[in-house]
Structure 1
Amino acid sequence: MKKVFFVDDEPLIAQGLSSITDWQHYGIQITGSANDGETALQRIKEEPVDLVITDIMMPRMNGLELIKRVKEIHPRTRFIVLSGYEEFEYVKVGITLGIENYILKPINIDELESTIRHIRGDWEREKLNMFRYEEDWRVLQSNILQRWVLGEIEVQEFKHRAELLGIPLNYKYVQTLVFHIVSEEKSISRLHRPNGLSEECGAIARAAVETEDEVEVICFPDGDEDLVVLYVSDHLEHQEAVLENASVTAERISKMTDLPVWAVRGVISSDFQGVQHSYRQAKMVFQRYLITGQDKTVFMESILPEEEESSTAVWDQEAYIRLLIEGKQEAVVEFIESILPDLFKSSRIPRSTCLNTAIGLMLSAKDLEDRPDYSEVFAQLARINTLCGLIQHVVSVVQRSMNNREETIQHEYSGHVADLIEQVKEHYAEELSLKTISQKLDMHPNYLGQLFQQEVGLSFSDYVNHYRIEKATQLLIHTDQKTTEIAADVGYIDTSYFYRQFKKYAGVSPTELRHMYTK
């Protein structure tokens, strides 16, 4: 809240100014009054104010002298002058000193309030300009620091820029920590201003090491929107205290953003290039691993064992493809949700192995589509950091793929025909009879058959055979299952009858089709 001070040698005017308008309404707090310029100057020295409303003609020190003296110590203070008709020459001097307005006595309240509104507008513009200036300064500082940790700036240039920007350099040790805020649906920049977030993160980190007076904290966002925190000090033991508080910092950042935070500690460095090496090591962890996603904060060292990278994922692709072809979404989702967590028991999950398995699961589903769009498989992978997020992505892609492949535009069909199509979809591997189904629907089989032929363009038996041969084709192409087994799986008990039906609808035999695709 802004502060105002009144100065007038007439006590009634000085006191009356406090009640002449609603100062709180304008965001202004009354800090006091004085009856002469000298007393006012002493009070203002002790407690600076934003606005002074002063008379001109006063004992000991007049209003013009007061304005000069206050401007010397507080140049941003603003002034409104109260004057009489005979004091206009003094008013002209006041104008040269930079007053906001002069108001004749007796005071016109409307004019006073209009002047206050004008001053308030100036204050708001000054605040905005100051914010922009500070924001530009923070962006410039972040850019220099980013170039430093990436090794894109020469030592001498960095030292010169650091001096200008107030970046502390005269310390022996630098501890690098990188805090990755896990947001797999939206980028951090869409949820928070990165520079504003780094400023808050810096404050949190400083508070966590507040007992260490000799530790400086530098915080800035890097190009990936991760928060880089550098703890600089002259004593190695201070860096151990930093480590103890890193998890506290991660917890506070998580609470502030309401998102999980993954923190990685780099090695302690003592020279210009060492910070770059420490930063690269910490960032490498985010590229090499996923986390389970079940904890709000995860803390890791940047040097991790290599053997975890060698794990190999093994899963029954044929069984999975059969589930896809059968079109049972619940069974497919159950398979995915069991296969990925079972592969990796550690809290640190090798990213490459896990992503390869996930991609295999998604591509197996997309390959069954007539016109697959593979972009959705890969588009989100770079932003996924957790196993939970990866499973959700795989399930989402596979479900959409199955819906695309199995979609029949049922709204074009009447209710009874739509029911028949659904029966084929669900029970194609079983004995299907129009007579049996018509009894369930309480309709004459001949009428139901004519209705189906009219709307679908095929007889019911032809539609069933088409559907079975389509499923058989997918199994022949995408699995190594024997032809006799495939025939039984799609509803043909007699293998020779299956061969005849397959050649009738596909134009080639099952063996010939598999040979063409294998070749």
Structure 2
Amino acid sequence: MYKVLLVDDEPSIREGLTTIIDWEKYSFQVMATAGSGREAIAYFNEMLPDLTIIDIRMPGMTGLEVIEELRVQHPDAHFLILSGYADFDYAKKAISFGVDGYLLKPVDEDEIIAELERIAVQLNQEREALARYAGEDTAYREHQIEALLYDSLQGEGGVETDSLGLHWPQYQVILLEIHAAPDLQRSNEIKRKLVEAFDQKQRGIVFSFHSGLGLLTQEIVDQNSTSQSLYDELQTLLAEWDVKMYAAAGKPVQSTAEIARSYTQASSLLAQRFLFTEQRIKRWEEGRISPRGEHKDHSAAEADGLQEPDEVELADKLYYALDIRSSESVMRVLGEMQERLVTHHWTEQAIKTAFSQVFSLAFNKLAAANQQMQSIMQEHSVLINEVYHQLTIADLIAMSAEHLNRLIQRMGGGSKDTVMKQMIEFIQRNPGENLKLEVLAEVFNYNSSYLGKLFKNHTGEYFNAFLDKVRIEKAKTLLDEGLKVHQVAARVGYANVDYFHSKFKKYVGESPSAYKQSRSQS
């Protein structure tokens, strides 16, 4: 639709013109009406109409004076003149101002419709020509930007930066990684939308790079507010498509010759997209810094002397949390995994591999203790596969929590059992684990000394004594099944056979060998 501004000092004329014509039928829409010359100028500058229909004679400021003033800033504007006087002098002056037509009052409906149809054709031709020119200019400048970046990164200087025709106070490269369903037409539409918003409005130049779209802009993103504002605008522009977008900005530079440096910084930062936790444009100074003060894009823990996280320890904690069917405990373990594994590993692949190792170790232990539950290993296969499809660490944690909580529900979790009952049942199911009060306190989110007092009050025994008794009862069962003494010791959590002997004799009154012999004779 083309925008129309109606200007006449007589309200009845304005109302009549507004209602007598089916404007939309002829691709027009009346956006505003004005009753004076000054009001007309104010409306014009605010809405920039495609066509202004204006009375030639008005008190204060005539229609011709309005046109004369507006022509200074808007030489291509379109005007239709209305007049109640068949005055040739007025007509000649109006023609000298380049108006599109001259209509006499009272206006004939068929006559004004004919004028609208004629002007609509002219506006269509102008719009097509402008789009064609803008498209050619955009494609040329995009090619120049891409060539500039390629040559600069290759150590060459083949592109004459003056040919870009850019004379901005500053230049900044923003790179966008846009994830959507694979669809070439959609990709072209997304790019076209950005070109309309930036290239065609002289705000910047949209270009392609290896994994997405880039934006060379003079609207500098240098703080949280500006990065959030531009990100929100981009999201709104792409709202009609189901996309996920990640964006990174290089440092602003003062000349076109330095644009490649801003691009390199943005590209390095976007490579850390997996660690993005906020939905906004990340800025060059927000990149991850290693202990040596360098931006890292590889695993460097060993070189930097960082303490390697213990995947086995984390897997044990996750296994405990799953075994007691506690969603709260699972979330705490996932949080610790994120903190420790991300701190140590520097690449997306390394982080995902570490998460997969922890999940595999925990699931294997869980499956061994719950052999009747085939769904455990099925869930494991799905979870490991999904790990490698997550775009960010936040996505990975959310997806993992969903899978693990679903498994807990299938295992009968979500009950209102007390912590003490859960602890006792856990110990009875896992006597062979290297159980420590400190580890269980962490799983159940308690202070270890306080948990020890609760346990003593509930069971009447100290934690270690209770654990020994459970282990010895399990040992007796295993001895009855014919296992050798050293095998039983290992199965119930005693790495030292002599220590197992002393514990067994303390609680049973005889050695494991003597117990086994007496049971075989009875």
TM class by smaller structure: 0.3 to 0.5
Per the normalisation by structure 2, the TM-score is: 0.41
Given the two structures, how large is their TM-score scaled by the length of structure 1?
0.41
